[in-house]
Amino acid sequence: MVTNILVTNGASHIFMSKYNKLSKDDAAVLLVDHQAGLLSLVRDFTPDEFKNNVLALADLAKFFNLPTILTTSFEQGPNGPLVPELKAMFPDAPYIARPGQINAWDNADFVAAVKKTGRKQLIIAGVVTDVCVAFPALSALEEGFEVFVVTDASGTFNTTVRDAAWSRMTQNGAQLMNWFSVACELHRDWRNDIEGLGALLSNHLPAYSNLMQSYSQK
């Protein structure tokens, strides 16, 4: 059990939350608004770093065979199209091009696609963190889903905006993770597939390839 303290109107409230591990049998991945135009707004990561993180999350979704849903907002406007790498990686995934709804959860097709997976753990990442991630995350929490926000595959204008969004989501029950911790929690045990996970990590964390090279030389 983890003890959390929430302060409201000067009063402290202590509540307990259970450590529910991510499960590859109960998790789905939601990639929200990773669009060419919106990516230009991301300033809390460098462009190369951010793209690597997003593709790492996508790779682990495929590695663990997680249901994955892609969605975009107002593609014909300044937000632009989905980044092509994601569309190529998930050619058969549900692809919800929202005509205008800012909150993906306001789109009936998106919500239907999420519920059709039958999964109760939602791994969410998107652009921008304070809107495209926070709004559906809060909406999903309200409907009883467990929400895991992938912080380094989500981006926004600056760290002040990002931190406020993180605070808002965690106060409502979302859990913050990075793509590396998501991969490790899903994998559970190195003996499940040493080379497979090692290759995934090495592809996105160059320094990790040193560990795998050392291991392979034994």
**Closest of 80, 112, 119 to residue 94, by C-alpha:** 112
184 is catalytic: no
CA distance 193 to 197: 6
C-beta of residue 153 within 8 angstroms of C-beta of residue 54: yes
The catalytic position among 31, 96, 124, 132 is 132
Give yes or no for residue 211 having a pLDDT over 50.
Answer: yes
Mind listing the pLDDT tens digit for each residue in 5-55?
Answer: 554 555 555 555 688 899 999 999 999 999 999 999 999 999 999 999 999
Tokens 């990075």 found at: 178
Q: Once rounded to an integer, what is the mean pLDDT over residues 120-149?
A: 98
pTM tops 0.75, yes or no:
yes
Q: What counts of helices (H) and strands (E) characterise the chain?
A: 9, 8
Residue 207 has what pLDDT? 80
